[in-house]
Structure 1
């Protein structure tokens, strides 16, 4: 396990993380500290605990909004996927009908060709 030193609201904290995740953890801490700095600037010194709670709630609020957007996008993706599957099924059905019609036309042309050949042979034998 790796260890990272992060600074939140002017205080240093040693945090453990998986190897290779040090930069990610530092970035998350810096982002969270940004919320605290923002609230400190807006409300002044209202206490470390209140600042931390307000920043935590802001982060959870953003997470909640992101989850809502993700759910909406998933629903939209599901609808588009279903519509695409419906179109593909309809296209397959049309292709099958077209193939059947083409087969019918080919048989008719073949029977006409056979009739023409037979008529030509009849006129040659007379």
Structure 2
């Protein structure tokens, strides 16, 4: 299992991936970061931005599936892994916010 560092919203995250998928995970991380930045802050917390970004990406994935079904299974697996990672990160941030 390989490990890759990606930067999202100015923070660096280490993500595990299959050997040979490192460049793809970096590309996906950059895509997520770009999507997050395109949504703008508007005073939203980091957790809210990550949730919103995850929802937007999930929506795009579902639209793609329903549209032409042309998404590659490896790409889907990597994208879903990135969304799951973001979800875990959001949950961790939310838990810290709840603790005060």
- Which residues of structure 1 form unaligned runs of 5+? 72-126
More helix by share: 1
Aligned length: 69
Structure 1 residue 3 corresponds to structure 2 residue 3? yes
Larger radius of gyration: 1
- Dislocated runs of 4+, deviation >3 Å: none
Give the structure-1-normalised TM-score.
0.51
For 2:28 and 2:47, the matched residues in 1 are separated by: 19
For 1:69 and 1:45, the matched residues in 2 are separated by: 34
Between 1 and 2, higher relative CO (CA 8 Å, sep ≥ 6) is seen in: 2
For 1:26 and 1:44, the matched residues in 2 are separated by: 27
Structure 2 residue aligned with 1:110: none
Structure 1 residue aligned with 2:51: 53
Give the structure-2-normalised TM-score.
0.64
